[in-house]
Amino acid sequence: MRPSRFWPGGIPPWLFLGAIAILLPIFTLMTLQTINRQKENSIRLLTEKGAALIRSFEAGTRTGMGMMGMGMGRGRMHGGGTDFKLQRLLSETARQPDIAYLMVADAGGRILAHSDPGRIGDRYDGSDLDMAGAVRSETLRWRTVQGTGGGPIFEVFRRFLPSSPPGHMGMGRHMWPGRGPDPDDPTAIFVGLDMSAVEAARRADVRHTVVMGVVFLFLGFAGIFLLFLAHHYQSARRSLSRIQAFSDTLVEHIPVGILATDGDGRIVSFNRTAAAILGRRPAEVMGKPVGDEMPTALWEPVRALETGDDPPDREIDCPIGQGPGPDRTVPLSVTASRLRDERGGFLGYVVLFKDLSEIRALRKRIEKNERLAAVGRLAAGVAHEIRNPLSSVKGFATYFRERYKDVAEDRETADILIGEVDRINRAVTGLLEFARPVALSPSPVDLKRFIETSLRLVEKRARDAGIGLETRISDSIGEAVIDADRINQVLLNLYINAVEAMGDGGVLTVAADRDETGRPGIHVADAGAGIDPEDLSRVVDPYFTTKPSGTGLGLAIADNIMKAHGGRLDIVSQKGRGTTVSLVFDADAEEEKTQRS
């Protein structure tokens, strides 16, 4: 899920919704339980207060009845004294601020006593109350009724139990004013408690509980959010560390030079490839102005990027060196771009450059091979057209030599003509050999015996020229999978070149061994005049020769044959000290040829 810009820290919206879905029911339930518990506590307190008032009133009534028994005669004298004391007890008790009323009523609902004397004898409006059950139940009960002022009244009631002391059972008939002849009928006492203060306190507690619930909900939500944010932060740090390690490793080891600067033009990144190309150590250039440390040609694409005159991608020849003159010139492919942050702010420049030396050399080799291929195709066609007329010319020359064999001058002319035709034919044959793809017939060959046999072909020619032959063939040379005829052709060409290079006198040395990788090699060395350094890279080119009678195809054909074997032709020469030509065969190609054969 892609983080939205409306959620801080990239926190996904489902986290907020999930936290609300989990925490809101929990804290709502806790808040409701707390509110219910507070309500139950309020009811319990009011009920206990009402019960205490009822017990107090009953106790006061009993005391009053006892007093009446002791002063019976006086009570008669002062009619209504006991009733006055009971009524006074109700009135005095009801003066407490949270008591709305106190009253006693019979089963018919007639008020027998009331904290408001004016209500005595009235009918209690308790239509929703079972008065008959109320006057007979000694269990404390409660209910909420509407007061005369519109406020709620918490009413506590049960059967009234003002038992007379022993020996005074007949005294109770004069207890209630206006009471009928049956004073033993049960009555109920009602205590009305004003709930205004309790309700105000309960509402304050509810508000406090709701506020605390909201606060705890917010704290729980904030805790989950902070935990996820901390986890997200740790994950981001780990990801950033991995990305930084990856980018540092990539920048340091990528085979492209990387040069980065800050907004002030100071170098802030310089990888090892850049150091190898420019010949500078990172410690020498880090933090320094790029204009003072880097070649001007390397920074030109950045200037072009600033002005917009030229595209920032280009190939340049960059002079490298710190002295008064460049030590060398390196062809580079350079790309420059601006570095910007996520808000588009400018951070600096980055320059990527790559050494094109190998690529240009490869391009030259490709161009050379294309030219050689074209020359080969042309040569094959020309050679085919030349060989037929040459056969006719040689035939006529042979005819005239036989016809004028008695004339020395004519016979010599005919011999010269035949020799020139043979030389042209050899050149044409070599040209065809060079142009034709090399077809090999490889087989295992004992190299020691093979080399010794090949030397016999030039043994007489070398002896006539006063040249000695020397072999240094390792006993561990063993066998090699080669095309014996083709390699013999290569060796014969090298032997002849060596004999001709030494002229009169010298030693032709042939060595054979295996290198540390197991590749077999044959080395032909002479003690001749050597090859000029400027000509060394051209000796395998077709038609390049320094000999007056040479065709320039011998080493070119030898090079093609070695490439067809998967090997190479190495030439080392020192002017005035001789030349060594090595035939190095590839061990893997040799093994592959063995498996195919």
How far, CA to CA in Å, does 573 sit from each of 2, 237, 491, 562, 581? Answer: 68, 61, 18, 19, 8
C-alpha angle 18-20-22 in degrees, rounded to nearest 5: 70
Q: What is the pLDDT of residue 60?
A: 75
How many CB atoms sit inside 10 A of residue 103's CB? Answer: 24
**How confident is the prediction along the chain (597 residues), in pLDDT tens digits per residue?**
444 444 554 556 766 677 677 777 777 787 788 778 888 888 888 899 889 888 888 887 776 554 444 443 333 333 344 456 667 777 887 788 888 888 888 888 888 888 888 888 888 876 678 888 888 888 899 888 887 777 788 899 999 887 644 444 444 444 554 444 344 678 889 998 888 887 788 788 888 878 887 887 778 777 777 777 787 778 878 877 787 777 777 777 788 888 888 888 888 888 888 888 888 888 888 888 887 878 878 877 777 777 765 556 778 888 876 544 456 788 888 888 888 877 878 888 888 888 888 888 888 888 877 776 777 777 777 776 777 787 788 787 888 788 877 878 877 888 888 877 777 777 777 666 666 667 788 899 999 899 988 888 888 888 888 888 888 988 888 888 998 888 888 898 888 888 888 877 888 899 999 888 888 999 999 988 888 888 777 787 776 777 766 667 778 888 888 888 888 888 898 888 889 999 988 765 444 444 444
Beta strand 328-340 with 187-194 is unpaired
- Give me 190's structure tokens: 């009602």
Could you please report the per-residue DSSP string of 542-555? Answer: TT--SSTT--S-HH
Which single residue is written with the structure tokens 């490439």?
A: 563
Q: What is the pLDDT of residue 523?
A: 93
Give, for 28, the enclosing helix (H) or strand (E): helix 13-70
Could you please report the per-residue DSSP string of 193-242? Answer: EE-HHHHHHHHHHHHHHHHHHHHHHHHHHHHHHHHHHHHHHHHHHHHHHH
The upper half-sphere exposure of residue 14, i.e. CA atoms within 13 Å in the direction of its Cβ, equals: 3
Residue 200 and residue 38 in contact, taking contact as beta carbons nearer than 8 Å: no
Q: Can you name the residues that pair with 346 across neighbouring β-strands?
A: 340
Residue 194 and residue 97 in contact, taking contact as beta carbons nearer than 8 Å: yes
The size of the chain, in residues, is: 597
Phi and psi at residue 229, to the nearest 5°:
-65, -40
Which single residue is written with the structure tokens 């040459």?
A: 390
Q: Which amino acid is at 144?
A: T
Q: Which residues contact 486 (CB under 8 A, 6 or more apart)?
A: 438, 440, 561, 564, 565
Q: What is the pLDDT of residue 78?
A: 37
How far is 458 from 496, CA to CA, in rounded Å?
Answer: 7
How far is 366 from 339, CA to CA, in rounded Å?
Answer: 38
334: closest CA among 290, 291, 300, 383? 300
Beta strand 479-482 with 443-446 is antiparallel
Q: What is the pLDDT of residue 524?
A: 92
Q: What is the pLDDT of residue 69?
A: 45
Q: What is the pLDDT of residue 336?
A: 83
* 254-355 CATH fold: Beta-Lactamase (3.30.450)
Q: Dihedral angle at the C-alpha atoms of 80, 86, 88, 90, nearest 10 degrees? A: -150
How far is 484 from 451, CA to CA, in rounded Å?
Answer: 10
- Give me 236's structure tokens: 């981001």
How far is 572 from 580, CA to CA, in rounded Å?
Answer: 5
CATH assignment of 443-596, among 3.40.50.2300, 3.60.15.10, 1.10.357.10, 3.30.565.10: 3.30.565.10
Which single residue is written with the structure tokens 């006993």?
A: 475
- Give me 267's structure tokens: 């170098």
Q: Which amino acid is at 331?
A: P
Q: Which amino acid is at 522?
A: I
Q: What is the pLDDT of residue 124?
A: 84
Q: What is the pLDDT of residue 593?
A: 46
Sheet of strand 99-106: strand arrangement:
111-114, 99-106, 187-194, 152-159, 141-146
Residue 191 and residue 53 in contact, taking contact as beta carbons nearer than 8 Å: yes
